[in-house]
Amino acid sequence: MFKCSLKPVATALTDSTYGTVSFSEAEVTRLNEIFPDGVCDCSQPDQGRPAG
């Protein structure tokens, strides 16, 4: 993957991105600090893939 589409951490936590993993409030806060722009949405195609 060259560049991925992003989705908010809150969406990833509720749409099965992380399966059945349960995160504490502190872990969710940390995820938001680490990924302020969101996390990769692997259901979307590459965003930066060169043509051809």
Q: In total, how many domains does the chain have?
A: 1
pTM: 0.79
pLDDT-derived band at 50 (thresholds 50, 70, 90) equals confident
The CA–CA distances, whole Å, from 26 to 1, 30, 34, 42, 52 equal 30, 6, 12, 25, 44
Q: Residue 52 has what pLDDT?
A: 66
Q: Residue 39 has what pLDDT?
A: 96
Domain that holds residue 32: 1-52
Q: What is the pLDDT of residues 1-48, one digit of tens each?
A: 578 999 999 999 999 999 999 999 999 999 999 999 999 998 988 887
Rounded CA-CA distance 11/2 in Å is 22
Cα angle for residues 38, 41, 43 (degrees, 5° grid): 170
Tokens read off for 5: 């589409």
Q: Quick one: which of 30, 44, 33, 34 has its CA closest to 1?
A: 44
